[in-house]
Amino acid sequence: MLSLANRERRKSERRDLNERTRSAEQREATVFAWFKSPPSSRASVVSE
């Protein structure tokens, strides 16, 4: 019973880690796109 609870907790922790990694990758992609964009279009990206 205890091992089952531990397994479920590890599974949820791994899922949380995957979601954090994914959101960090999305944030990096957004910043990268922002730096690549011309200055005139940057204001609209920041204001969103």
| pLDDT of 45 | 53
Record the pTM: 0.48
pLDDT digits (tens, 9 = 90+) for 4-47: 999 999 999 999 999 999 999 999 999 888 888 877 766 655 55
- Say how many domains are in the chain: 1
- Give residue 20's pLDDT: 92
Tell me which residue range forms the domain holding 16. Answer: 2-47
* Segments in 1-48 forming alpha helices (H): 2-36, 39-47
Of 20, 13, 41, 46, give the one whose Cα is nearest residue 5: 13
Q: Please give the Cα distance from 47 to 42 (Å, whole number).
A: 9
